Amino acid sequence: MAERLPLIFVLASHLLITGVLSVSKLTIENKCDHTVWPVIFSWQSQVSTTGFTLEKGEARDIQAPSSWYGLISGRTRCSNDSTGNFSCATGDCESGTIECPGNYGWAQVTYLYFRIDNGGAGVNSHTVSVEYGYNLPVMVVPSQSSPTCMSSGCVVDLNKTCPEDLKKLSNRGKPIACSSACQQSNTPEACCNRDFKSKQNCKPTVYTQNFERACPLAHIYTYDDNNSTFTCPKSTDYVITFCPSSNPN
């Protein structure tokens, strides 16, 4: 029995360490009627992949380590050209491959922001954003529930209701993404810059009001304060669904 104590001690120490260095499981699933190519970009810490393929009906688990801060988005209509270069009609990260290493340029897509164990505070936070545009309906469902920890998302197909001057069309003329007013016009009013860079001066535009009516639980524009960020205990796992079949709570 005494000879086994060192091994038991090692196992117990391992369990203690993994308990302290907790992770959150992010299950990313595709319920669209087409393939989606998720992107995972990290500002702090790293996860196991930066981009991959999800066929219709598929799901994949990602382990987000403590102190991870990053975003998730979904690319659509991706393919390889004759030279093998990989690109997507929406959400392309310009890497030329399925993986998306390096810097990330803002695209016309629906974004999800996560902070895991934010600054060691013992909480996670998640936000669904259409500030930079929209391409896919998305829903985030946490494994725990409370007034501050709840499902959120943008589950309406904004491509159908997008103003004509903000629509991005496929080669066949089908709307596949909706640009933000800032990206489209680049005016100080729409982008909340220069003289408008304050909550008092930067007001919702007719475009952001359209988005807010459709997706009240999403972050719409720079100084949007519609309580679109939700906080959960750091032990929370999440299911992220592209093209969800049901509405968020």
Give the rounded percent of residues in the chain with a pLDDT score beyond 90: 52
What DSSP state is assigned to residue 248?
A: -
User: What's the confidence (pLDDT) of residue 198?
Assistant: 64
Candidates 2.60.40.10, 3.40.50.360, 2.60.110.10, 3.10.20.30; CATH matching 22-242:
2.60.110.10
Q: What is the pLDDT of residues 51-94, one digit of tens each?
A: 999 999 999 999 999 889 999 999 999 999 999 999 999 999 99
User: What's the confidence (pLDDT) of residue 226?
Assistant: 63
Please state the pTM of the whole predicted model. Answer: 0.85
Q: What is the pLDDT of residues 141-195, one digit of tens each?
A: 999 999 999 999 999 899 988 888 889 999 888 999 999 888 777 777 777 776 6
| Reported confidence tier of residue 247, pLDDT bands at 50, 70, 90 | very low
Q: What is the pLDDT of residues 13-38, one digit of tens each?
A: 433 333 445 689 999 999 999 999 99
Q: Does residue 3 carry a pLDDT above 50?
A: no
Strand-by-strand arrangement of the 175-179 sheet: 133-134, 175-179, 167-169
Q: What is the pLDDT of residues 108-147, one digit of tens each?
A: 999 999 999 877 778 999 999 998 899 999 999 999 999 9
The Cα 53–Cα 161 span in angstroms is: 28
Pairing type for strands 133-134 and 175-179 reads antiparallel
